[in-house]
Structure 1
Amino acid sequence: MVSLQPPGADLGALCPDFALPDPTGRVWSLKELRGKTGLLVAFICNHCPYVKSMVDRFVADAKALQEAGVGVVAIMSNDVAAYPADAPEHMVTFARDHGFPFPYLVDETQAVAESFEAVCTPDFFGFDRYLTLKYRGRLDAGRKTPPPADSPRELLDAMLAIARNPLEEPGPQHPSMGCSIKWKEDTLKLIE
């Protein structure tokens, strides 16, 4: 397992257009996923200890963001042949067990992760209502264990500020940290 931090974000970039299926085969488009005040895209997977340690905090924050009009989606881009615990049938169980109130999509070709320049799980991308990237950072100060109870809810606070006013700068952004996306050999050759 490799622990990675994503590079600095190209804030101001537009959200790459995409359409991906959930494990049942229903295809979700960017147009359907975006909320009236923004969009949060999270690259996660089932097996990563960093994801496992924060998933319930992420779900709680996602619910608050959805109430504020922010669309939320999680995307799994790992090579499931090499990491079968991340296969679609296990995604269904993972989403159910953690009460996902948002779609959990399969990026089988890894093209969406590549277009976002996602590098790890978890990796968060927060867009305003115009689909302009305003936040690329961590959920909070927790890594493999929850942060102290009085720690700021960095992602939630930033996205709520962006939802209120897309011109507002959401404050300092600390890179997320997690396991590397498990690239297929042919995808890895394309991005190198």
Structure 2
Amino acid sequence: IEPRNYILRQSVEDWTWINIQLSVATYLAGVFRTIPRITVIQPTTESDKIQSSLWIPSLGIIRYIYWSFFVILIVVCQGSSIISGYFRMRSDKHLSDIFLTIRLLGYSFGCTSMLIGYTIYGRTLVKLTKRSFELIDETQRNNERIKWQLRKMQMFNQAAYFSFVFWSGATFFIAIWHDLVWSTLVLSEIQIIMACPVTVASYIVGMIVIAV
């Protein structure tokens, strides 16, 4: 890629972020659909309603939120990325910085949304799965494969939680103070040192969950 073709460079960078966030959003949409089907919160003979104090959106609301998130993320992040790259190529630092800030705030919004989803619904799915696990007979309960699947759920949820805690805060901070961070060697090094372990740990957990 031509080093000075900032529009193309930033668009490619954006699609990496957007693909990750949309993949996680798709996972959370699946969580919303899975929770009502778990045995421990199914309707009982005394009630026709699902036994849960947690608000669970309907399928229509899930679709609306998912596609709204999809469109907003692409329009805001990709649009501001292209415009920022355009003004950067024209050496207009002021306007380039404005749209760069919008772009990074879009990242922060996406990460914060994922963080809220994992905090509430990701943990709930793990807890309900544990409760369902406690209801099965002792022979199945001692099944090491079932135990390992449950541990993988916990690992994945915790890795995603801490990753989005870091990135929601980091992208917001850089969105507001990116000039200070990128112009100060020490702060730039701190950013890299903090980001690398979080990213590597998330990839390792993801590979374990998928491969094993």
TM-score with structure 1 setting the length: 0.27
Structure with greater proportional strand content: 1
Work out which of the two has the higher radius of gyration on C-alpha atoms and give 1 or 2.
Answer: 2
Structure with greater proportional helix content: 2
